[in-house]
Each structure stands twice: as C-alpha cells, then as structure tokens.
Amino acid sequence: MSGAVDVTAPKLTAASSRKVHGTAGTFDLPLNLTGTATIEPRIGGPNTIVFTFDEPIVADDVTIDADEFSLDHATFNSASVTGSTLTLVLANVVNGKYLHVGLVGLSDVAGNALATTSLTVGALYGDVTRSGAVNAADIAIVKAGSGQTVGATNFLWDVNASGAINAADIGIVKNLSGASIDAASLLLAGIGN
C-alpha cells in the first residue's frame, strides 16, 4: 500500500548477555524476555546486554543517558543504538542477585514510542547449569570441559571469559560452590508475588 503511515510501536524481539572470551571470540547468552529469568554464570554477570527490536530505534533525545533506564543491582555505564539494536553497558552488577532493567524513552524512526519495556536476568557466577545454585553438577561440567576449545556450545563453562576452559574456571566454580541466587531480589525487581 503506497503512502501508508507506520503507526506501530517497535517491539523487543530478543535480548542477550554479551561477553568477549579472549581470542576465542564474543559469545551471547540469549535472555528470556518472559517467564523464568535467565541466569548469567560468567564472572561480571550481565554487564553488556544487547536488546534487539523488530525495526530501527532511536532515543527520544538522540542521546541515551541513565534517565532512560531504571536498574536494580547495577549502575549504568553507557549505551549505544545501532539500527535495531540497543547495547547497554552496566557496571557493579551484584553476584547472587536478579538484575532488573527497564527501558523508556525509545521510539522508531517514525516517532512511534516503545512502550516501557523491562527485562530481568540473574547473576550467579559459576552456575553453568543455571539452576540457581552452584554445586557439584557445575563443577563436574566445567571439569569435563577443561581443555576444550571455547565455542558456541560450551562458552558458559569459560566462567572467567578468558578464552580457555581450564583449571582457573574449575577453581572459580569450586570456590563458589554452595552459593545461590537471592530469590528475594527477584521480588524486589517486581517479578514475584
């Protein structure tokens, strides 16, 4: 239809936690947009979150600042928009907590505002099974992967994101054994009952 005006707001279609694993490359952990919050087991937690929308987006004021995001258990560092992706860099992500990110003040190039959108993700270093607790199963998985080349199927086992699955990763997971994610932080993020 020629001359049609776009009146649909952009929609969030995907999100991921992105980390560079040394020379092995960059690997994204897909994050659940609804339902159970994904747990990020790599050291530093979800400090780079990439949001993907169904169309190109812009910030209402052309620059993105902390006022356009609400955060629980982290601080805003920087953000950038490229086409249909928003990359949000966080600092001070707290291990053992759920992080809640709210997005406001974004629109498409036609000016259609994105409804306030939020995402919750957990940070629990060493929880490669993403069960909510670091235990013998996590240790066994990382031990079994020791010496493997970091790739798309095992990047979570490279807990320190060094680019190698080795004794350092095993040691981290062993030292964190017994840790669990704070379910109360999920309630604070407004997700629970």
> pTM of the prediction?
0.88
Three-class DSSP category at 83: coil
pLDDT tens digits for range 131-155 = 999 999 999 999 999 999 999 999 9
Residue ranges and CATH numbers for the domains of the chain are 12-126 (2.60.40.1220), 136-176 (no CATH)
Task: Tell me: pLDDT of 44 over 70.
Answer: yes
> What is the rounded average pLDDT of the residues 71-99?
87
> What is the rounded average pLDDT of the residues 12-29?
97
pLDDT tens digits for range 11-20 = 999 999 999 9
pLDDT tens digits for range 145-190 = 999 999 999 999 999 999 999 999 999 999 999 999 998 877 655 4
Per the CB < 8 A criterion, the answer to whether 49 and 18 are in contact is yes
d(CA 155, CA 27): 7
Amino acid identity, residue 162? S
